[in-house]
Amino acid sequence: MSFMKPDAADVTNPRFRPWAKIASPTANLAQTTWDLKQREEVQARNEKYWLDKGHTPIPREIFEKHPKIWLEIGSGTGGYFLDLAKKNPEAHLIAIERCKIRSGRMIQKFVKSQLTNIQGFRGNAIPALITGIPSESVERIYILYPCPWPKNAHRKNRWYLHTVMPHLIRILKPGGFVIWASDQEFYIREATFVSETRYSLKTILSGEVIPNEWNQLVEFPNGRTSFEAKFFSANHPCFELISQKL
Ligand SMILES: C[S@@+](CC[C@H](N)C(=O)[O-])C[C@H]1O[C@@H](n2cnc3c(N)ncnc32)[C@H](O)[C@@H]1O
């Protein structure tokens, strides 16, 4: 079987509509509430699976050694975290990326920089979050432009509905932040709703990405990450959420 790569000529074919033309869902908070009620049994099963496997891609000792850790999940090629590491030498930055090619580029960049306050890992963030990261050990968690899983049938994969979400909150220090960005407004609205109602996080900021003291976009006018840069150059609005654990 051969796979056809869409090109400019294919845009009239509905199978290859560019992403911007595919209607994105609106936030469905009633359904999200229902989803959260169903999670408990799945939660236990999923955790047991990863605990039995007993593998975590990030060594636990790193979290015990450094007092000020910032973690990026799905970091792509790691450019944004490298800039943050340069600007924040007092913090220790850890990036995890599952894709072999992107994580390879990221690790190469980090090694070349010779910075000692940044580490990149190739692997799945799910076992890392469930089994490998001590409680209350991370000051900031960045989830920037994750796959939004817009199809209703796939919504359990959205990070805020995923079984790792309680672990994201568990590993966060009191006063710590979860920093989200997405090109999908529904994703940020639902993430805000879940963070507030289920996890009692305080919303510091939720809305369209515009320069502010949190995202320091003034220093990244073309976008902080490669996905953000793509959306900015296409004039596609982006959205962000900054939540704090009280
Ligand atoms: C849409 S890209 C965004 C990359 C980057 N944050 C940016 O803004 O340019 C989402 C990234 O998350 C990674 N990812 C998805 N699920 C992951 C997981 N379970 N563990 C680690 N990385 C994951 C993907 O491989 C992909 O590189």
Tens of pLDDT, residues 50-100: 888 888 889 999 999 999 999 999 999 999 999 999 999 999 999 999 999
- What integer pLDDT is reported at residue 42 of this predicted model? 84
Number of separate domains in the chain: 1
Percent of the chain with pLDDT over 90: 72
Query: Low-confidence residues of the chain, pLDDT below 70?
Result: 1-23
Ligand 1 site-directed mutation target among 96, 97, 130, 144, most atoms within 8 Å of CB: 97
Q: Is residue 16 part of a domain?
A: no
Check which CATH number belongs to the domain holding 209 and give it: 3.40.50.150
Q: Is residue 19 part of a domain?
A: no
Q: Is residue 184 part of a domain?
A: yes
Q: Is residue 213 part of a domain?
A: yes
Of 153, 163, 156, 83, residue with least CA distance to 125? 163
Q: Is residue 14 part of a domain?
A: no
- Domain span at residue 46 reads 26-244
Ligand 1, closest atom to CA 228? 8
Ligand 1 pocket by Cβ (under 6 Å): 74-76, 96-99, 102, 124-126, 144-147, 225-228
Q: Which residues contact residue 62 at a Cβ distance below 8 angstroms, ignoring those fewer than 6 apart?
A: 69, 92, 94, 119
Specify the pTM: 0.90
Q: Which residues contact residue 228 at a Cβ distance below 8 angstroms, ignoring those fewer than 6 apart?
A: 144, 145, 181, 209, 220, 238
Distance CA 75, CA 222 (A): 17
Q: Is residue 113 part of a domain?
A: yes
Q: Is residue 1 part of a domain?
A: no
Query: How far away, in angstroms, is 185 Cα from ligand 1 center?
Result: 18
Coil, strand or helix at 230: helix
Query: How far away, in angstroms, is 97 Cα from ligand 1 center?
Result: 6
Distance CA 190, CA 193 (A): 5
Tokens 């306050």 label which residue? 117
Q: Is residue 4 part of a domain?
A: no
